[in-house]
């Protein structure tokens, strides 16, 4: 398996991860979230996220997030990502709902009023660096698998504004 495949295998086995952003004073803030990773169109994740003033301010200041997965077997997967608010909430809703649990889930459990609820939002995460390490790899003295976007290549392109979509 390559780094992308191993990352997704760990992420989808663990399901929940710690996501960190930074505030306007560059102080980190962590929260537990449930990203769903997809391979189509390049590796990316969709994650449900209430558009709280804190999240809006953090991502307006720095549109990046760190996602860290850990399981009791000591397998670790980390994605350093560009994060942006998704404009088409209905499409994100349907994509997440189409994946079987526990990786996918029904967003109606969070937003019973559906994707048009003002409290409903999704983030798209596009990694620029991945790292995966398993307990077996560590015990064997092997280095973690890592992947980085090619040096000199542009950061993942933004698909619209980082401002929270309305509607």
> Would you kindly state where each structural domain of the chain is located, as residue ranges?
3-148
Separation in Å, CA 1 to CA 8, 9, 145:
11, 10, 10
pLDDT at 162 over 90: no
Nearest to 79 by CA among 118, 123, 126: 126
Give the separation between CA 86 and CA 122, rounded to whole angstroms: 5
pLDDT at 163 over 90: no
Residue 153: per-residue pLDDT: 53
CATH of domain 3-148: 2.30.110.10
Residue 157: per-residue pLDDT: 40
Q: What is the mean pLDDT of residues 85-89?
A: 97
Residue 159: per-residue pLDDT: 39
Residues in the chain: 167
- Of the pLDDT bands very low, low, confident and very high (cuts 50, 70, 90), residue 1 is confident
The kind and range of the H/E element at 45 are strand 44-48
Residue 149: per-residue pLDDT: 84
Write the pLDDT tens digit of every residue in 16-55. Answer: 999 999 999 999 999 999 999 998 778 999 999 999 999 9
Write the pLDDT tens digit of every residue in 94-105. Answer: 999 999 999 999
Nearest to 58 by CA among 16, 20, 17: 20
Q: What is the mean pLDDT of residues 114-126?
A: 96
């Amino acid at each position: 398996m390559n780094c992308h495949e191993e990352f997704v295998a760990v992420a989808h086995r663990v399901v929940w991860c710690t996501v960190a952003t930074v505030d306007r004073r560059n102080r980190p803030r962590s929260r537990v979230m449930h990203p769903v990773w997809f391979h189509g169109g390049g590796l990316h994740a969709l994650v449900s996220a209430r558009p709280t003033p804190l999240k809006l301010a953090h991502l307006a200041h720095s549109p990046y997030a760190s996602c860290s997965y850990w399981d009791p077997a000591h397998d670790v997967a980390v994605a350093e990502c560009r994060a942006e608010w998704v404009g088409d909430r209905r499409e994100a809703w349907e994509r997440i709902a189409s994946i079987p649990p526990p990786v996918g889930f029904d967003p109606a459990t969070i937003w019973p009023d559906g994707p048009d609820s003002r409290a409903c939002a999704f983030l798209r995460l596009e990694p620029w660096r991945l790292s995966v390490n398993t307990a077996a790899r560590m015990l064997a003295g092997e280095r973690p698998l890592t992947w980085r976007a090619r040096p000199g290549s542009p950061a993942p392109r933004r698909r619209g504004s980082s401002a929270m979509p309305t509607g």
